[in-house]
Amino acid sequence: MDRRMGAVFGDDSGREKGEYSMELTLVRHPVSEIRFGDATRLDGTSLEVNADELRALLLADESLQSVDLEILRPGENARAGPVFDIIEPRAKEPGGSPDFPGILNPPATAGMGTAHVLEGAAVTVLNELSASARGDRSDRLLEMSGPAAEWSPYASLAHLIAVPHARPELAVHARLRAARRAGMAAAVYLARAAFGESPAATETFEAVGPAAGGREGLPRVAYIGQIYSRQRSPEVDEQIIYGVNTSGMMPLLLHPDEWLDGAIVPSYVLSLGGAETYFYQNHPVITGLYRRHRAGEIHFVGTVATIAASDNEDRDRNCQAAANLVKWGLNADAAVLTKYGGGVPHADLGMTANLLEEAGIRTAVMVSDMSADRRVESALLFNFPDVDAIVYCGGVDTRWTLPKAERVIAGSPEMSGALAASQVVQASNVIGVTNQQGATHLQSVVY
């Protein structure tokens, strides 16, 4: 058993006592294709994968009874679904924080050390549950060609598709937990093929923070991101932040690198405009603020992770706590806010922004139109005159007619026929098109 297999689960990362440098380095290795072969290795920009070795690694989890592995290529007339998660293959070198702390490894602060990244590749996990078992879990399609694929960044990636089949007697939440761990483990396994290889590029995310020196006179900017909505109660074993669910969670100060390095992963439910692990690993708001920080335009002081509430009392408590962290913890002059989930989280977003504006902190918020009938419902979810810097990230009215797919990879047999057929879909049904946290490919246009 080699290095790729042996320490994917339970690696203690080897960080020496006393080492605590909040700096993340991404070592990027471009991948243009994935193919199956006798060994898992990186051959130039081709990733060769030993399917038997990978399957053996994943089946070490006794919750699983089998795993199907397939490959999808950019431009292929192919469709896959329902998508459970998409993960960029990354693996940490020893000496930093571990891979996916709290999920694959014991909890430890993410965002430190060196991660090898297979840029252009993805591990895509499909949901094996039947439609009745999925319940309110959104059916997202991975479209590799055609009119909708042009608007999804995932269509340009080489995908290793994994369909984990859990023991059928397990509860639904336990089966989903097994799928989550399988996707993470596969992503780490693939990325370890890059260890020892020469990278195409290296990027370091420096130790930004409220106390960083040499930034005098620059606007101090924070980010507040919702990572969950209490419109739905999380499962007891739903691993969202450092391996735990969000029950009882109040707003939490995080270093930006923690978001990029596996501290936060998506819910079991990819709600409208929700996020995938790949999104968090490449969070466009955080990486955008980093770019402006490096350019000397702003002082990026930090982030707050929060959730949307289920009632007014909960909302008051969380919004005030988030605003206080930004004002007193980060001493910010301005803040960027994004939301998660359905229509109600608009209210949490608007209230938090209004509290910040009242405290003298300028805000910019990102919202979507949640009204299916194209009326004014969404505009009335908050109405604070001071919250007037609003970025619109698309609604539910964009549709495409998908052609019949020549090749289909389905999470369950009942999905095969439905996936293959020509069909009309909303933008939110094609994974990667809509996103409420900065990665949307839709915008409003005034004619």
Helix (H) or strand (E) holding 426: strand 423-426
Residue with tokens 């930093």: 96
In tens, the pLDDT along 307-341 reads 999 899 999 999 999 999 999 999 999 999 999 88
pTM: 0.93
Question: What is the pLDDT at residue 441?
Answer: 66
Distance CA 350, CA 337 (A): 9
CB distance 331 to 210 below 8 Å: yes
C-alpha span between 43 and 232 (Å, rounded):
44
Q: How far apart are CA 174 and CA 182, in angstroms?
A: 12
Instruction: Show the tokens assigned to 326.
Output: 């930004």
Alpha-carbon distance 245 to 116, whole Å?
A: 27
The reported pLDDT for the residue numbered 18 is 46
CA-CA distances (angstroms) from residue 403 to 83, 142, 281, 422, 432? 19, 13, 31, 5, 18
Q: Name the average pLDDT for the chain.
A: 90
Q: Which residues of the chain have pLDDT under 50?
A: 1, 13-14, 17-18
- Any idea which architecture 208-392 has in CATH? 3-Layer(aba) Sandwich (3.40)
Q: How far is CA 153 from the centre of its chain?
A: 13
- How far is residue 116's CA from residue 88's CA, in Å, rounded to a whole number? 10
Both structure tokens of 174: 């336990």
- Max alpha carbon distance in the chain (Å)? 62
* CATH 3.40.50 domain span(s) along the chain: 208-392
Please provide the distance, in angstroms rounded to a whole number, between the alpha carbons at the two ends of the chain.
61
Cα(99)–Cα(114) distance, rounded to whole angstroms? 11
Q: What is the pLDDT of residue 1?
A: 40
What are the residues facing 303 on neighbouring strands?
Answer: 223, 254
Closest CA to 246 of 225, 261, 276: 225
